[in-house]
Structure 1
Amino acid sequence: MLYQRYLPYVVLGLLFLPGFSLAEPAKKNCDSLFCYSSKDDFFQFESGTRLQLDRGVFINDSRTDFDNEWNVRRARLSSSAQIGEHLSIDFTYDFARDDRSAIRNAFIRYTSADNTRFTVGHFKEPFGMERLTSVQDLAFLERSLVSLLTPPRSLGVELHKHTHHWTAAAGMFTTGTESSSNDTKFGTSARVTFAPQSDAGRIVHFGLGIAHRNTDSQQEVRFRQRPETRNTDIRLIDTRTFIADSYTYLGIESAIARGPWALQAEYIYSHVGKARINQTDSGENIHFSGWHIDLTWIASGEPQPYNHEKGTFGRLRPAHSVQHGGWGAWRLGMRLSELDLTNHPITGGRQQNLTTGLTWVLNRNISLSSEYVKVLKVDGGEFTNASPAIFQSRLQIIY
């Protein structure tokens, strides 16, 4: 790919661009690569970039044959505009995506003075704490196994409201640019959260979500998942294509934080209506499910932040950045996750992973991450009894 040929030069440019990374920003109130504001502040425009460069090293067993890979996980260019006090526009394009449309966000949003907002376009659906957490704010390189049972970005409309202690959102959607074998002709999603404590370092969070899908005219679906890495396209658990009329996700989430310590857990149940191998079968209702538990510790002492608008954990910003003579922020994490894609007559397999990781946030622009992912077990499917391990690392540059 052309972008891969010039990637090293792009990385060097972003690292040493004046006003970027280890240098002081040109404008204290501008977190993006380029900012513009009219004299009366009626029109404001920002353009930013996000680059994630990954390396994966695999320890195979007798059941697997992974190849060590470099991967440009994300190479995004985003732009947003604020028009007056209430209207905003957002557009994000990912140059690292080859197999599907690279448009990520493309929406218009109206936000009232009481934090009620109406969004139309292409964006994330309201479901799941982990899913709604920005990738640049996650404690791990990839979302957990159970993230498969969450809806992707879609085309639709959403009504959302939030306060300091709760959020509520609901919307109607159809398949967007993130097309897959689970394309739908119609869907709805909704999520509510309640956080009686929501200050940084003192968080108690609960949430519920539901997402329903009617399948497209082909009525074919497929559920499969990578082993918490994007340095391979191999899936250890895979239902293969089967026929179903609909599927519904139900999610329960909770989180607690005290100072630099944080614990997060989610369980997602998926009900699949009239699953069958071929059209002649009458079909039966089946279910898949999964969960993850995350424990993180910010070793440099910063309190765990919270995002009140999203109802998720927030972005870790170092108290003492490298450019100020500090050591940045250091976060350690451990995650246990499981995904079960087996329910007769579908035998996609069940997988359980243990992930440990360390992230060094040098400043608000640059971070380095390393992880060890161990597949504890795979039951059923082509890779039954497989237990490979993965060492992976990431350089992330955001502006």
Structure 2
Amino acid sequence: MKTPARRVLPAAILASLFCSVAPAALAQAVTTASPKPSGISQERALALSARLDALEKRNEELEEQIADLKAQVAAGEGQIREQVAAQPTVSLNNGRPTFTSLDGNFKFALRSVVQFDAAHYDVSPLRTDNDLGSGTNFRRARLGFDATVYKDWNIALWGEFGGTGGESAVLNQAFVEYAGWRPFGLTEPLRLRVGAWATPTGLEDATSNTEGLFLERAAAAELVRGLAGGDGRTGFGAFARGERWYGSAVLTGKVVGTPSTAEYNQQSGYILRAAFSPLHGPDYDLHLGASLQGILEPADTAAGPAEANAVRLAERPEVRVSGARLVDTGAMAANGLQVLGLEAGASWKNLYAAGEWFQVDVSRTQVGAVRSPFDPSFSGWYLQGAWTLTGERHPWSSANGGFNGVKPAKPFSLEKRTWGAWELAGRYSVLDLNDKAGSAGAAAPLGGVRGGEQKITTLGLNWYPNNVVRFLLDYQWVDVRRLSAAGARLDSDVGVVSLRSQFAF
């Protein structure tokens, strides 16, 4: 038993010593072990942190600059838009260059009309007094502008470079007009105008010469137009209109340009006209109207205390390639004249008809050296109609108190196989410049006027390729019956074929 005890005791002492020493040694090993190096020094870490702060600050500054640039660009774009929006608008409606301010208070439109006519006359019997020369002529060659300034003022300036072949360039119209007053409850402004222009003297004259059915107006309408109205007639007037009515009152003077005979006191005259459309619908219009116009005092063509006042009534056939007049009263000493006109017209779908009647009463003062035994009277009238083969119609407008021309619904195009508008037209007109003319073979009675009677039948074919260009082909049968002062017959039978090529905007 002693032997096992001796072995156990030393073993227990060794185990006790090992257990007491091992934890201390382990603790010493842990506390004395050095940490593993990281690879970045503290100084470098501080430098990187400072640089990162600087970059963040710079980024903030750049973001602020970008925001400022965006604001500046946006403001610039706004200014550019405002400047662009403030620029005048440009349009080419129906080929007419028009510039309009943003607020609509200013407008400028370039205008032009060119009509090139060709005609062939067949006259029987041919004499020196009725030799109508065949050929060509620029009937109208106009260039000018219409403008609106400060919303309520209208101005126009047009030059005329055409005519009947013998005229030089002349002023066609130049006027200033105020259109900012609406008295008496008018829906449209009362227009007050001064200058030179052509006031409509009747229904045919109320239709623009670029939209008429034939090359020329009916002879009676054209003659009356030239008495107190016509192109380039100076004057002062007022114009009023509503939706279905029109009225005008104008005091007129001379025609601009140099007269063929020197004038020492210019002509003065007047034009009064009223028109309305009592029946109106989407495809029909009825027109009724009347006019009263006259010469208050003819031009004085004598210098000094003596006066020489006279009027003369003369008219060409309804083509102006030749300037010869087949009916002519000659100069009549007079202190004035008066014209009464009645007018009517209607359109229904693609059918149109119109007519006018005029009576001209001359206040004649003398015949030669003898006091005039009577005041001569003359008359004229016409009827005309049209059938638009392609279906377009002639609408009524209160702008001038008359009918507008045809506007093709489908402009001419070979690619689209559309042919514009086509129209057939016819007219019969009479102009009687005789009064107490007496009989053939004898001298005219005292005071009798042998101006002649002219009757014209016209057939026409019109082609409107578009709203700018058109072509008119007419044939006329002209019948003139006239006596010379001695009683000889000065009759004429004329056949005329004519063609007009036109552009207008």
What TM bracket, shorter-length normalisation? Answer: 0.7 to 0.9
Contact 1:199 1:306 in 2 (8 A): no
After superposition, give the CA deviation of every residue in 1:114-140 in whole Å (9 maximum; x if it has no partner): 322111111123421112221001011
Instruction: For structure 2, list consecutive stretches of 5 or more residues without a partner in the other structure.
Output: 1-88, 301-307, 437-447
- 5 Å-filtered alignment, 1:195-210, equals 195-199=277-281, 201-210=283-292
Contact 1:198 1:308 in 2 (8 A): no
Q: Which range moves more in the overlay, 196-205 or 319-328?
A: 196-205
Task: Give 1:235's match in structure 2, choosing from 325, 341, 348.
Answer: 325
After superposition, give the CA deviation of every residue in 1:156-183 in whole Å (9 maximum; x if it has no partner): 1111111111111111111121757798
Residue 391 of structure 2 is aligned to residue 391 of structure 1? no
Q: Secondary structure at the match of 1:89?
A: strand
AA paired with 1:30?
N
**Pairs aligned (count):** 374
AA paired with 1:264?
A
Q: Give the CA deviation at 1:287.
A: 0.5
What is the rounded CA distance, in whole Å, between the counterparts of 2:219 and 2:91 in structure 1? Answer: 39
Q: Give the CA deviation at 1:40.
A: 3.2
Q: Which range moves more in the overlay, 28-37 or 202-211?
A: 28-37
Cα gap change, 1:376 to 1:293, in 2 (>3 Å): same
Q: What's the counterpart of residue 187 of structure 1?
A: 269
Q: Give the CA deviation at 1:383.
A: 6.7
Q: Give the CA deviation at 1:192.
A: 0.6
Contact 1:32 1:47 in 2 (8 A): no
Q: Which range moves more in the overlay, 197-206 or 41-50?
A: 197-206
Cα gap change, 1:69 to 1:127, in 2 (>3 Å): same
Residue 220 of structure 2 is aligned to residue 152 of structure 1? no
Q: What's the counterpart of residue 249 of structure 2?
A: 170
TM-score (norm 1): 0.88
After superposition, give the CA deviation of every residue in 1:372-398 in whole Å (9 maximum; x if it has no partner): 011134233487331111000010011
Residue 143 of structure 2 is aligned to residue 143 of structure 1? no
AA paired with 1:331?
E
Q: What's the counterpart of residue 102 of structure 1?
A: 170
Q: Secondary structure at the match of 2:93?
A: coil
- 5 Å-filtered alignment, 1:1-399, equals 30-63=93-126, 64-97=130-163, 98-99=166-167, 102-112=170-180, 114-115=187-188, 116-147=190-221, 148-150=223-225, 151-153=229-231, 154-177=233-256, 179=259, 185-199=267-281, 201-213=283-295, 214-217=297-300, 218-323=308-413, 325-344=417-436, 345-381=448-484, 384-399=490-505
Instruction: For structure 1, list consecutive stretches of 5 or more residues without a partner in the other structure.
Output: 1-25
Q: Give the CA deviation at 1:103.
A: 1.0
Q: Give the CA deviation at 1:274.
A: 1.9
Name the structure where helix makes up a greater proportion of residues: 2
Q: Which range moves more in the overlay, 123-132 or 255-264?
A: 123-132
Q: Secondary structure at the match of 1:247?
A: strand
Q: Give the CA deviation at 1:38.
A: 2.7
Q: What's the counterpart of residue 33 of structure 2?
A: none
Contact 2:141 2:161 in 1 (8 A): yes
Q: Give the CA deviation at 1:187.
A: 1.2
Q: Which has the larger radius of gyration?
A: 2
What is the rounded CA distance, in whole Å, between the counterparts of 1:253 and 1:138 in structure 2? Answer: 16
Q: Secondary structure at the match of 2:255?
A: coil
Q: Secondary structure at the match of 2:204?
A: helix
Cα gap change, 1:390 to 1:275, in 2 (>3 Å): farther
Q: Secondary structure at the match of 1:130?
A: helix
Contact 1:164 1:198 in 2 (8 A): no
Name the structure where strand makes up a greater proportion of residues: 1
After superposition, give the CA deviation of every residue in 1:44-63 in whole Å (9 maximum; x if it has no partner): 11112111111101122114
Taking only aligned residues, the RMSD between alpha carbons, in angstroms, comes to 2.2
What is the rounded CA distance, in whole Å, between the counterparts of 1:329 and 1:297 in structure 2? Answer: 11
Cα gap change, 1:200 to 1:283, in 2 (>3 Å): farther
Higher RCO structure (Cα 8 Å, ≥6 apart): 1
What is the rounded CA distance, in whole Å, between the counterparts of 1:398 and 1:245 in structure 2? Answer: 40
Q: Secondary structure at the match of 1:149?
A: helix
What is the rounded CA distance, in whole Å, between the counterparts of 1:53 and 1:276 in structure 2? Answer: 43
TM-score (norm 2): 0.70
Q: Secondary structure at the match of 2:220?
A: helix
